[in-house]
């Protein structure tokens, strides 16, 4: 498969999942899962959450995961098998734009860190609503990369790089802040939401997660920053790192709502 904009591999997802455990758990709670439920993880990656969901629905339930990357599906199937859940967990290749399921099938659906990659997130939410049963729950978590902040004296450069990053590394960099409006427009009821902050005190980890090598070289090529500005930026971050003071944060939004009974 040609790797799309914002592509991340299974290893990246494993590293970042560790930072997101608390929000993942709350997303499961907000699905209101009962034993025997039939649930979907839309953009499931390498079974980042389907195995955990399988424990919650139990062997009388069903968990489906969908992802358009065939490598993720192979890894997800392997992990489900290794966990011993392959009888009630299945993963299949498919697009958020056209979920390969009939309407009104799932008790709840979730999607995490997927909408930021989408050119048409409204369509993805519409599809999640379609496949959810009336009265069922829809839960989405996504980052808002516009809220990325890093403690540095080079704050002009930091702001420029963050703005560029939101445009060039993903298709929908401000995804988090847009979810509330999208849920309202789908007439989902009983909305609950919260902002979650991820903190980073490891410079190299944040550089990798954000893809700063790419962002900086693009920003330079676009003439948005000068080499001198980048040199000062690197110096400032290296100094914080050396002193054990590096600090950055980014917000995500978790939101849940119910499909109306009609």
Residues lying near ligand SAM in the complex (CB under 6 A) are found at 8, 13, 17, 43-45, 48, 67-69, 72, 95-96, 112-114, 117-118
Instruction: Report the residue number whose CB is nearest to ligand SAM.
Output: 45
Quick one: 72 or 131, whose CB is closer to ligand SAM?
72
In the complex, least distance from residue 113 CB atom to ligand SAM, rounded to whole angstroms: 4
Quick one: 61 or 121, whose CB is closer to ligand SAM?
121
In the complex, least distance from residue 211 CB atom to ligand SAM, rounded to whole angstroms: 12
In the complex, least distance from residue 161 CB atom to ligand SAM, rounded to whole angstroms: 20
Nearest in space to 114 (alpha carbons), one of 138, 140, 132, 91:
140
Quick one: 43 or 248, whose CB is closer to ligand SAM?
43
| Alpha helices per DSSP H over the chain | 10-19, 21-29, 50-57, 70-82, 121-131, 155-168, 175-185, 203-210, 212-221, 227-242
In the complex, least distance from residue 241 CB atom to ligand SAM, rounded to whole angstroms: 25
Q: Residue 197's beta-bridge partner residues?
A: 251
Quick one: 17 or 19, whose CB is closer to ligand SAM?
17
The H-or-E segment that residue 62 falls in is: strand 62-67
DSSP structure class, residue 66 = E
In the complex, least distance from residue 127 CB atom to ligand SAM, rounded to whole angstroms: 10
Task: Answer for the pair 182, 257: CB distance below 8 angstroms, yes or no.
Answer: no
Quick one: 49 or 229, whose CB is closer to ligand SAM?
49
Beta-carbon contacts of residue 168 (< 8 Å; ≥ 6 apart): 5, 214, 215, 218
């Amino acid at each position: 498969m040609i790797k799309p904009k914002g592509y991340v591999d299974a290893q990246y997802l494993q590293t970042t999942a560790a930072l997101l455990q608390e929000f993942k758990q709350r997303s499961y709670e907000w699905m209101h899962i009962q034993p025997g439920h039939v649930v979907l993880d839309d953009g499931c990656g390498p079974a980042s959450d389907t195995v955990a969901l399988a424990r919650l629905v139990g062997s009388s339930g069903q968990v489906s995961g969908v992802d358009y990357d065939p490598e993720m599906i192979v890894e997800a199937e392997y992990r489900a098998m290794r966990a011993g859940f392959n009888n009630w967990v299945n993963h299949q290749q498919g697009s958020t734009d056209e979920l390969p399921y009939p309407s009104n099938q799932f008790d709840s659906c979730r999607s995490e860190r997927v909408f930021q990659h989408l050119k048409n997130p409204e369509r993805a939410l519409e599809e999640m609503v379609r496949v959810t049963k009336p009265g069922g729950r829809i839960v989405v978590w996504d980052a808002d990369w516009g809220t990325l902040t890093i403690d540095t004296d080079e704050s002009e450069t930091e702001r420029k790089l963050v703005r560029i990053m939101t445009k060039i590394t993903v298709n929908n960099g401000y995804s988090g802040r847009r979810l509330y409006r999208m849920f309202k427009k789908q007439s989902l009821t009983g909305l609950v939401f919260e902002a979650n902050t991820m903190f980073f005190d490891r410079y190299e980890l944040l550089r990798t997660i954000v893809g700063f090598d790419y962002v900086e070289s693009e920003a330079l090529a676009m003439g948005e920053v000068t080499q001198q500005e980048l040199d000062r930026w690197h110096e400032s971050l290296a100094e914080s790192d050396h002193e054990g003071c590096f600090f950055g944060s980014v917000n995500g939004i978790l939101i849940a709502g119910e499909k109306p009974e009609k």
